[in-house]
Structure 1
């Protein structure tokens, strides 16, 4: 098939991107708030919560390869990967709600409940997201189109992230009316319903164009053999593992950083500059009332200043990220190649992340400035990870004359979820070891632990990802060669 015949319309790109919007309503909630929810709302210790996040990874070691094998061998009139989006939509939403529901149980009962529901959520995430990610690898073989699809995908993902990180805590406060458990349940249910609708739209608006070679034999043993000997895949596995260890650790710890380290009075004064505070006896305009409807106005008693301040912090970061994805990622990667852009931007991200350790708790403006610089540096990398995985699937087909897109992506989804669990476990274990106590004034030692997991430690794990990229061999020139040769093969077939 000629590469030029595999152009993808903007409508289809947007339709595909909605699937990642759906996934990020759930994934970002787990990455940013799961550990915080378990300790400060659900009511279990940080170490126990971290172990729950980590233990689920043992099940993933079996689930993720299974999903890759099953999706590669699925044959329907809708394709191999699209049907899974429809089949898993409602179970995905249901397990999401259950994972953020607080039952009336003993602490031991809560730990068991949390372990079961989190493991089920992670398992259904694999059955949904591995086929979804694989779908992006078979919509086109055109390099620029694949990067474009990833860019549009992550615009929607960034919007979903903006909503989760910016509105979750204010909505919890609004819906809960002082009852945090009820607030979380209502907020999660709202996001779950939206997630189902978005997945259904993705199913109906996308198309699979790349198929395995017609003479390919299905062999699980060969699938494993191909992937174990695939140097680009191994590099991407290590990169993804440490990237999501970092994101989960940093995302989890920043909730604690804002709630327990940042000075609440300084934060309230900072929000006052943006007219995001309520003063007794004041009169307010339409915009102020609109924001207040979403809980984005800090009350004069400082009772919700953490929620509003942390939401603003996240929303500004996501707006910067969105601009970087739209205007920089495709442009830079087309000139310098995906790998080179990833290396430089990830190194800069690690440097800026380390600076959170040095900031004084009252210097809120500097905290926000560092976040802007970090978000700006990280933004161009976001679409590249999954575009590069499509390139890895092509490289495997180019070398072995076999294609197993689902199996290739399954390993990376496993690395993603392993990173998510390890990052949360590391954060929970470290803050607990330094003496963290939920819903209390923290000791100096506990503050140091919170600062370390928000700055220096994630900076180190970012740089491990940079090292992994130096072993990724698919340059811009080699990628173009692979696409041309595969195009010729498919035309002849």
Structure 2
């Protein structure tokens, strides 16, 4: 089939996207709750938690280029990248469960257990998610189809994010009957089984089609190509900055709701918007079915935090729907820069909100979610374009190593952002055993959620403006690669 006419079926797009849903049940938990799990559930001191998150994440990040080289040189009848989704499905689920378990060790034993399980988790995540991400670059060479695939994929991401950020904490309390340690273990067991099934569906429903018309190069050539690839360097920097913010603000929100916002005002807000009435009806229905252990928690901070995240995620999904048409018209780069800038302004707005301004907090989150949602598919679609740029410029394709570098950036950003959460808490004197934190600690948490979290996003906006693959360049690269492949007798396979 000619390169420009290759279209993916809805079944394949959905099947591929389920892999991201599976991975993000774990990834979103790491990004949002890892620091909280270590400090408040497993009772690890914040400073030690910061060291574990940073060191473990750095090890995982450094493994990515190695995994990229391995994946690019994998040759099976199923392709280069699909087999890794299959091979890592079960280990991913098992290690995720271990990482969120709480064996009764002493203080030093807890640190060793947390570090080892976290390192194993980020390593298996790389072995799974790097080939999975690279797979998007070889399912089709049609850039418009990649935009569409990215939209499907990141709707699945948003579904996973909704489950984690809006429902995980209530699920933990429900499944553990108030015991967060038991609740995390039972919830992660459920996620592990779901993830394994979804990864198998991804493997079964997808097919690698894009074949390079050039010979496979050496590892030295791959590295040299990367170092001379300016769009790659720019996207690496943007990825690091974006995930620093995501990890920092995502990991701090739970502390923001529990320690900064006025609990009485949260409860009044939930009452005024009808949330409490809705939950009362839900609990009554569950009780009528005999599910008395599955009543929604009454804690205002938990309910407020869940609804806050749910509102943002729903608006992110709406934003994703605008991503493809805007990108098709104006180009990925320009749409990404403008939408990220606007979304950042609503993160920064948290800095001026007093503790009782609950309505403004929710409004800012909703608006941030919409504009950030527009950027979500574009980041990974632009990375796939970088792989095409590399082939166009160097006459060699090395998809996985390019994606590995970006996932290195993701892991590094996640490690820095996650470690910052715990480090900031330690510097503020946060103590999980106290019934109430000091005013200084509460104000510091607000600053972390707003000012500190907005700075990497703002830097990313500046950096992406240097990205040279605009709308015109996208079309030029697509046309010329198509011509080369047709001339070489290489096309996408059915």
- TM-score of the two chains, using structure 2 as the length reference: 0.95
Q: Is structure 2 residue 389 aligned with structure 1 residue 420? A: no
Q: Within 5 A, what are the aligned runs for 1:72-471?
A: 72-213=72-213, 215-277=214-276, 286=285, 297-299=296-298, 304-326=299-321, 328-440=322-434, 441-471=436-466
Name the CA distance, whole Å, in 1 between partners of 2:30 and 2:278: 34
Name the CA distance, whole Å, in 2 between partners of 1:280 and 1:72: 50
Name the CA distance, whole Å, in 2 between partners of 1:348 and 1:287: 41
Shift of 1:324: 1.0
Name the CA distance, whole Å, in 2 between partners of 1:293 and 1:231: 58
Q: Is structure 2 residue 58 aligned with structure 1 residue 34? A: no
Q: Deviations over 1:42-62 (max 9, x none)?
A: 101112111111102342354
Do the aligned partners of 1:158 and 1:321 also contact (CA within 8 Å) in 2? yes
Name the CA distance, whole Å, in 1 between partners of 2:274 and 2:72: 53
Structure 1 residues 477 and 161: alpha-carbon distance in aligned structure 2, compared to 1, 3 A threshold? same
Name the CA distance, whole Å, in 2 between partners of 1:84 and 1:293: 42
Do the aligned partners of 1:276 and 1:297 also contact (CA within 8 Å) in 2? no
Partner of 2:468: 473
Structure 1 residues 288 and 159: alpha-carbon distance in aligned structure 2, compared to 1, 3 A threshold? farther
Structure 1 residues 2 and 283: alpha-carbon distance in aligned structure 2, compared to 1, 3 A threshold? closer
How many residues align structurally? 486
Name the CA distance, whole Å, in 2 between partners of 1:99 and 1:217: 38
Q: Deviations over 1:235-264 (max 9, x none)?
A: 000000010000000000101001111111
Name the CA distance, whole Å, in 2 between partners of 1:296 and 1:369: 28
Partner of 2:55: 55
Name the CA distance, whole Å, in 2 between partners of 1:378 and 1:107: 40
Q: Deviations over 1:19-53 (max 9, x none)?
A: 10011101000000000110000101112111111
Q: What SS is found at the alignment partner of 1:277?
A: helix
Structure 1 residues 385 and 356: alpha-carbon distance in aligned structure 2, compared to 1, 3 A threshold? same
Structure 1 residues 134 and 444: alpha-carbon distance in aligned structure 2, compared to 1, 3 A threshold? same
Q: Deviations over 1:399-437 (max 9, x none)?
A: 000000000000000100110010011121112102211
Name the CA distance, whole Å, in 1 between partners of 2:453 and 2:179: 33
Name the CA distance, whole Å, in 1 between partners of 2:116 and 2:10: 40
Name the CA distance, whole Å, in 1 between partners of 2:295 and 2:346: 27
Shift of 1:281: 11
Do the aligned partners of 1:171 and 1:294 also contact (CA within 8 Å) in 2? no
Bigger Cα displacement from structure 2, 79-88 vs 47-56:
47-56
Do the aligned partners of 2:44 and 2:110 also contact (CA within 8 Å) in 1? yes
Q: What SS is found at the alignment partner of 1:425?
A: helix
Structure 1 residues 457 and 283: alpha-carbon distance in aligned structure 2, compared to 1, 3 A threshold? closer
Do the aligned partners of 1:434 and 1:448 also contact (CA within 8 Å) in 2? no
Q: Deviations over 1:440-463 (max 9, x none)?
A: 211111112211110001111111
- TM-score of the two chains, using structure 1 as the length reference: 0.95
Structure 1 residues 45 and 228: alpha-carbon distance in aligned structure 2, compared to 1, 3 A threshold? same
Of the three residues 483, 487, 490, the one matched with 1:488 is: 483
Do the aligned partners of 1:6 and 1:209 also contact (CA within 8 Å) in 2? no
Do the aligned partners of 2:217 and 2:396 also contact (CA within 8 Å) in 1? no
Do the aligned partners of 1:170 and 1:294 also contact (CA within 8 Å) in 2? no
